[in-house]
């Protein structure tokens, strides 16, 4: 079943090139959806099912939706996707770069691969992600408080950056 | 800016540096750096001027790239060695990537291009915070990692001193000159990092003192170009008479304090049989000295042809906080005889 992982990673690189090559945020965010979905699949294959679920829900379902709404308010009326030659050329260029660097640095396709290590203390990786989250709430309490404070500071930073209608940092909204 | 927000942001900046100082885990170190980046963003664009916003965006993009590189390197290190400790990085790929990421964070050549443009878009106080406080956390990390490759740090250092010298030569905007001066000083700090880390710390702290006095002198005179500096001698003649000493101290001339780090670094490099490198670095300091001399020439040593009305303004007491300026200017000029004591205090 390494073939399945091969296809997932292939889609990941394709999605990465799509995100990097599109100047319009609509198509770049679409590529990001594909990359995040495939990344969740890779994560499930390595045993982090809980983490993959959280990634899908919060990253795709929360942050990317907010980004899509913000982009819809602020982006251009005539977005350029893969239909126009400069964008397609950039995409093919990125893929060519990845393939050439890959063939330059890999001895063969079947010699080496990165395998997942299973043990860390008393956690086995299959349950590691769930146990990790539980630990954050118990013995990692100080770091949880720090994370909460940093998120609050981030909220203040974003509010300060977007304060004011047209005299603010962002112009239109 | 709302004083509550300002308090929270300044507190977050202190928190970020403190977290990085206190960390031995790479994730915590990264977290401290990100908090620092995040908290300074509203400070940078508080005037909401398009130039300031442009500087904020450039700063954010470069710092985010550097933080992402740092994260990749630490994750690669964790995957190879199985542990996340800062001091035990033994493989060359993660260590090199971390060094390059931190070089981008602080603005070493050849990763320096963002620094003059970002500093140009900020007012002098925020530029001061950027040049001094934001360098503390990355340097703390640089001091703790084992360098993988001897020549990487030497190339970064020498390129920075040369770029800092040559880049500042054709500038008449003071903030860009200060940016190139920062790049040059960072180059000196990195040169000696792997041989005698206490000298890196010494150079960093001396640079903080010297550049603080220069930034605040420019701020008291409210001048950001050499032209406006040349007319500012009548605002505060004491400052005009002290600024050449600050500038020559930055250039590294004895008997001023700025000679201390350069002298000790040259001595250490010679002891490590790197005498040609030491010679090159000393020669590159001459380039920086030229534009420091140009500023002092325009400010103090000549009187620009203009109407004489500016010779007799009212010498009103300044509302700005000049006590820190007085303290740092005195330290910039008079600290050289205390060199042995300072070395002993800063021995890591």
Give residue A114's pLDDT band: very low, low, confident or very high (50, 70, 90).
low
Interface of B with A (CB under 8 A): 1, 5, 8-9, 12, 15, 19, 31, 35, 38-39, 41-42, 45, 48, 53, 56, 79, 82
Reported as type and span, the H/E element at residue A116 is: none
Kindly determine whether residue B53 and residue A157, on different chains, have CB atoms separated by under 8 Å. no
Give which of B180, B156, B26 is closest to B104, Cα–Cα: B156
Indicate the DSSP class of residue B301.
Answer: I
In this complex, the residue of B41, B48, B82 whose CB is nearest that of residue A157 is: B41
For residue B158, what pLDDT is reported? 96
Give residue A127's pLDDT band: very low, low, confident or very high (50, 70, 90).
low
Beta strand pairing status for A123-124 and A119-120? antiparallel
Grouping H, G, I as helix, E, B as strand and the rest as coil, residue A113 is coil
Average pLDDT (A65-88) is 84
In this complex, the residue of A117, A153, A161 whose CB is nearest that of residue B12 is: A153
What value, to the nearest 5°, has the Cα angle with vertex B26 and ends A102 and A98?
10
* For residue A126, pLDDT beyond 60: no
Per-residue model confidence as pLDDT tens digits over B194-235? 999 999 999 999 999 999 999 999 999 999 999 999 888 888
Grouping H, G, I as helix, E, B as strand and the rest as coil, residue B192 is coil
| Sign of the torsion formed by the C-alpha atoms of B265, B266, B271 and B273 | positive
- How many other C-beta atoms lie within 10 A of the C-beta of residue A126? 13
**A117 and chain B in contact, CB less than 8 A:** yes
Q: Which one has a higher pLDDT value, A25 or B62?
A: B62
In this complex, the residue of B8, B31, B48 whose CB is nearest that of residue A167 is: B48
Provide the token pair at A120: 């860390």
Give residue A84's pLDDT band: very low, low, confident or very high (50, 70, 90).
confident
In this complex, the residue of A154, A156, A168 whose CB is nearest that of residue B48 is: A168
Which of A117, A140, A150 is the best mutation test for B, with the most CBs of B within 10 A? A150
**A66 and chain B in contact, CB less than 8 A:** no
DSSP string, B154-188: HHHHHHHHHHHHHHTTT--BHHHHHHHHHHHHHHH
Which of B36, B37, B38 is the best mutation test for A, with the most CBs of A within 10 A? B38
Provide the token pair at B310: 């500016």
**Do A150 and A158 contact (CB within 8 A), yes or no?**
no
**Do B119 and B49 contact (CB within 8 A), yes or no?**
no
C-alpha B235/C-alpha B220 separation (Å) is: 9
For residue A78, what pLDDT is reported? 82
Provide the token pair at B254: 């004895």
Report the DSSP beta bridge partners of residue A119: A124
What's the CA dihedral at B138, B143, B149, B152 to 10 degrees?
50
For residue A118, what pLDDT is reported? 55
Task: Nearest chain B residue to A115 by CA: give it.
Answer: B79
Report, as ranges of residue numbers, the positions in chain B whose pLDDT lies below 50: none
C-alpha A115/C-alpha B271 separation (Å) is: 46
In chain B, count of helices (H) and strands (E)?
15, 0
Give residue A45's pLDDT band: very low, low, confident or very high (50, 70, 90).
confident
C-alpha B319/C-alpha B236 separation (Å) is: 13
**Do A118 and A110 contact (CB within 8 A), yes or no?**
no
Q: What percent of chain A has pLDDT over 70?
A: 80
Q: Which one has a higher pLDDT value, A51 or A167?
A: A51
Kindly determine whether residue A150 and residue B12, on different chains, have CB atoms separated by under 8 Å. yes
**Do B159 and B233 contact (CB within 8 A), yes or no?**
no
**Do B98 and B74 contact (CB within 8 A), yes or no?**
yes
* For residue A124, pLDDT beyond 60: no
C-alpha B310/C-alpha B318 separation (Å) is: 17
**Helix, strand, coil share of chain A (percent; to 5):** 70, 0, 25
From A160's Cα to the closest Cα of chain B, the distance in A is 6
Q: Is the peptide bond before B110 cis (omega within 30 degrees of 0)?
A: yes
Least confident of A99-103, A145-149, B300-304, B313-317: B313-317
Cβ contacts (< 8 Å) between A150 and chain B: which residues? 12, 31, 35, 38
Grouping H, G, I as helix, E, B as strand and the rest as coil, residue A124 is strand
Cβ contacts (< 8 Å) between B53 and chain A: which residues? 169
* For residue A119, pLDDT beyond 70: no
Ranges of each domain in chain A: 1-123, 127-172
DSSP string, B198-257: HHHHHHHHHHHHHHHHHHHHHHHTT--BHHHHHT-TTT-HHHHHHHHHHHHHHHT-TTST
Indicate the DSSP class of residue B25.
Answer: B
Task: Nearest chain A residue to B81 by CA: give it.
Answer: A117
Q: What percent of chain A has pLDDT over 90?
A: 30
Grouping H, G, I as helix, E, B as strand and the rest as coil, residue B22 is helix
Give residue A76's pLDDT band: very low, low, confident or very high (50, 70, 90).
confident
Per-residue model confidence as pLDDT tens digits over B108-152? 999 999 999 999 999 999 999 999 999 999 999 999 998 888 899
From B36's Cα to the closest Cα of chain A, the distance in A is 10
**A84 and chain B in contact, CB less than 8 A:** no
User: Residue B108 to residues B78, B155, B212, B238, B283: CA-CA distances in angstroms?
Assistant: 26, 10, 20, 34, 18
In this complex, the residue of A153, A164, A169 whose CB is nearest that of residue B53 is: A169
Kindly determine whether residue A150 and residue B48, on different chains, have CB atoms separated by under 8 Å. no
Cβ contacts (< 8 Å) between A154 and chain B: which residues? 38
Cβ contacts (< 8 Å) between B79 and chain A: which residues? 114
Q: Which one has a higher pLDDT value, A167 or B280?
A: B280
- Give the A:B interface size as CB pairs under 8 Å: 40
Task: Nearest chain B residue to A118 by CA: give it.
Answer: B82
**A92 and chain B in contact, CB less than 8 A:** no
C-alpha B9/C-alpha B55 separation (Å) is: 18
From B153's Cα to the closest Cα of chain A, the distance in A is 25
Give which of B201, B231, B199, B222 is closest to B123, Cα–Cα: B222
Global pTM value: 0.86
- How many other C-beta atoms lie within 10 A of the C-beta of residue B34? 20
For residue B264, what pLDDT is reported? 96
Cβ contacts (< 8 Å) between B41 and chain A: which residues? 157, 161
**A150 and chain B in contact, CB less than 8 A:** yes
């Amino acid at each position: 079943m390494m073939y399945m992982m091969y296809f997932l990673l292939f889609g990941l690189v394709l999605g990465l090139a799509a995100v990097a090559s599109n100047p319009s945020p609509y198509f770049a965010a679409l590529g990001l959806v594909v990359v995040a979905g495939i990344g969740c699949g890779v994560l499930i294959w390595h045993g982090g099912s809980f983490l993959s679920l959280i990634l899908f829900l919060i990253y795709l379902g929360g942050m990317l939706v907010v980004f899509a709404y913000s982009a819809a308010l602020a982006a251009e009326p005539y977005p350029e996707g893969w239909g126009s030659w400069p964008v397609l050329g950039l995409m093919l260029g990125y893929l060519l770069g990845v393939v050439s660097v890959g063939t330059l640095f890999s001895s063969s396709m079947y010699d080496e691969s990165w395998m997942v290590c299973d043990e860390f203390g008393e956690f086995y990786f299959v349950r590691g992600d769930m146990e990790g989250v539980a630990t954050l709430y118990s013995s990692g309490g100080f770091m949880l408080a720090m994370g909460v404070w940093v998120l609050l500071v981030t909220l203040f930073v974003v509010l300060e950056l977007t304060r004011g209608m047209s005299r603010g940092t962002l112009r239109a909204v | 800016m709302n004083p509550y927000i300002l308090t929270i942001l300044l507190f977050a900046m202190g928190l970020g540096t403190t977290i990085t100082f206190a960390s031995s885990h790479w994730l915590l170190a990264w977290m401290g750096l990100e908090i620092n980046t995040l908290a300074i963003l509203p400070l940078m664009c508080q005037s909401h001027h398009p130039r300031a916003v442009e500087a904020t965006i450039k700063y954010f993009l470069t710092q985010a790239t550097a933080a992402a590189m740092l994260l990749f390197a630490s994750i690669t290190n964790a995957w190879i060695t199985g542990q996340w400790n800062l001091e035990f990085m033994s493989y060359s790929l993660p260590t090199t990537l971390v060094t390059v990421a931190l070089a981008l964070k602080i603005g070493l050549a050849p990763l320096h291009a963002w620094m003059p443009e970002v500093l140009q878009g900020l007012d002098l106080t925020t530029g001061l915070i950027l040049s001094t406080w934001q360098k503390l956390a990355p340097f703390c990390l640089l001091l703790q990692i084992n360098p993988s490759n001897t020549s990487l740090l030497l190339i970064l250092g020498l390129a920075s001193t040369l770029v800092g010298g040559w880049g500042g030569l054709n500038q008449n905007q003071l903030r860009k000159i200060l940016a190139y001066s920062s790049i040059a000083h960072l180059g000196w700090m990195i040169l000696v990092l792997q041989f005698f880390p206490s000298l890196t710390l010494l150079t960093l702290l001396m640079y903080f003192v010297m550049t603080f006095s220069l930034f605040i002198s420019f701020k008291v005179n409210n001048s950001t170009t050499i032209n406006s500096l040349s007319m500012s001698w009548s605002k505060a003649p004491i400052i005009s008479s002290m600024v050449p000493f600050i500038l020559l101290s930055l250039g590294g001339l004895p008997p001023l304090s700025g000679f201390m780090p350069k002298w000790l670094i040259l001595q250490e490099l010679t002891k490590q049989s790197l005498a040609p490198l030491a010679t090159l670095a000393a020669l590159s300091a001459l380039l920086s000295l030229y534009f420091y001399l140009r500023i002092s020439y325009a400010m103090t040593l000549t009187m620009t042809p203009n109407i004489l009305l500016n010779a007799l303004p009212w010498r009103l007491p300044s509302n700005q906080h000049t006590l820190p300026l007085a303290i740092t200017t005195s330290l910039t000029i008079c600290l050289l005889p205390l060199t042995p004591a300072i070395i002993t205090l800063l021995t890591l």
